[in-house]
């Protein structure tokens, strides 16, 4: 690939002035894209991308589906810079073969998502939504909830967000169990963890928080069988990826009182519109604390991820290496 154009297109909302100034200060033309009427970033097709990214060497992006065909239609594009940490919507094999770079904003949203998980654990365990809805209806009866203090918390996956969550759980004197293929000795020592298999995590946890990537192996890892192994007072938190949980099975488990509650920031309907009725039923429930895939969306978290994504774009356009922890694919 020839030297990339010094233009970066941003298709994400909430891109702050400091990140724009950083890009411009590095002699980068910045274009904050206006998406086609009625379309979200995830709904952009190849023709949309060609129009939005004409002459761009960098793309700061969130949830667009970036296929081999899309990359082939964007020959000037040197870097796909994700303002986030997931990259399952990018064809990374194609990116490598076509000589492109794919990066993530590693370390930018760990604290924000971990804070959200703690909030969801407490809110679901203490039945805050159910209590407030009852009060709005004139019923001020006390609903007895459950503590997070000194409870058993199971974490599935233990990357940056999982470690950030573990640090917070230490303040609650929680017993932290982790199920992950590779648990480092330094993490066990730092956070007082125990390494467990998935069945043990399901059976013993009072709270379960999911922090695994979505892969063919992890899709529906929490299914009807898994709910059958959980405690009846368990709370499930999913702020990772829709599809890790079988949402139909979750709805059934809640309807049957099989678990106490759930905190959800991601849903199967995000990638499968046929699941919308299931999502609607889940978020309508008193025992579900719901958010619209907003775990990273604090002022501070967005500022961090905007800047990291911008740094990655500048480094690649300049022909240098972006931060190592941010590199998913470097096909140069």
- Residue 270 known to be catalytic: yes
Residues in the chain, total? 332
Catalytic residue among 168, 219, 293, 318: 293
Catalytic residue among 160, 211, 241, 304: 241
Ramachandran quadrant class, 27 (left: phi over 0; alpha: psi -120 to 50; beta: rest) = left
Cβ neighbourhood burial of 202 (10 Å; 0-12, 13-18, 19+)? buried
- Backbone CA torsion sign across 121, 263, 240, 48: negative
Q: What strands lie across the sheet with 152-156, from one edge to the other? A: 194-195, 175-179, 152-156, 207-210, 235-238, 261-264, 288-290
Ramachandran quadrant class, 37 (left: phi over 0; alpha: psi -120 to 50; beta: rest) = beta
Q: Which residues make beta-bridge pairs with 53?
A: none
CA distance 306 to 108: 8
CA distance 251 to 270: 16
- Residue 241 known to be catalytic: yes
Looking up tokens 């932290």, which residue turns up? 176
- Residue 100 known to be catalytic: no
Q: Dig out the tokens for 160 from the structure.
A: 């940056």
CA distance 105 to 81: 8
Asked whether 35 and 84 are in contact (CB, 8 A), the reply is no
Catalytic residue among 175, 270, 285, 318: 270
Displacement of CA 205 from its chain's centroid (Å): 22
Asked whether 177 and 205 are in contact (CB, 8 A), the reply is yes
Q: Dig out the tokens for 288 from the structure.
A: 């579900």
Task: Tell me how many degrees the CA angle 118-122-124 measures, rounded to the nearest 5.
Answer: 115
Catalytic residues: 241, 270, 293
């Amino acid at each position: 690939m020839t030297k990339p154009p010094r233009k970066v297109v941003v298709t994400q909302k909430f891109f702050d002035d400091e990140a724009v100034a950083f890009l411009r200060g590095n002699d980068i033309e910045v274009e904050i894209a206006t998406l086609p009427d009625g379309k979200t970033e995830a709904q952009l097709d190849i023709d949309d991308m060609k129009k939005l990214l004409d002459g761009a060497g960098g793309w700061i992006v969130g949830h667009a589906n970036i296929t081999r065909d899309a990359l082939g239609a964007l020959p000037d594009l040197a870097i796909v810079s994700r303002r986030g940490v997931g990259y399952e919507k990018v064809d990374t094999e194609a990116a490598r073969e076509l000589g492109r770079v794919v990066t993530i904003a590693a370390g930018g949203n760990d604290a924000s998502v971990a804070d959200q998980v703690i909030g969801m654990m407490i809110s679901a365990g203490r039945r805050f939504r159910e209590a407030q809805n009852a009060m709005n209806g004139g019923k001020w009866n006390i609903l007895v909830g459950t503590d997070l203090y000194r409870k058993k918390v199971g974490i599935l996956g233990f990357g940056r967000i999982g470690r950030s969550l573990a640090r917070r759980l230490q303040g609650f004197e929680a017993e932290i169990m982790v199920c992950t293929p590779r648990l480092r000795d330094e993490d066990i020592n730092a956070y007082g963890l125990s390494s467990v298999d998935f069945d043990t995590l399901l059976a013993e946890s009072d709270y379960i928080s999911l922090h695994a990537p979505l892969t063919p192996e992890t899709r529906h890892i929490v299914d009807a069988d898994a709910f059958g192994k959980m405690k009846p007072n368990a709370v499930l938190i999913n702020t990772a990826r829709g599809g890790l949980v079988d949402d139909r099975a979750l709805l059934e488990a809640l309807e049957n009182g099989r678990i106490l509650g759930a905190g959800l920031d991601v849903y199967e309907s995000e990638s499968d519109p046929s699941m919308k009725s299931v999502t609607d039923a889940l978020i309508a429930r008193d025992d579900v604390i719901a958010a619209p895939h907003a775990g990273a969306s604090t002022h501070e978290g967005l500022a961090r991820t905007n800047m990291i994504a911008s740094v990655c774009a500048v480094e690649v356009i300049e022909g240098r290496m972006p931060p190592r922890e941010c590199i998913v694919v470097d096909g140069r």
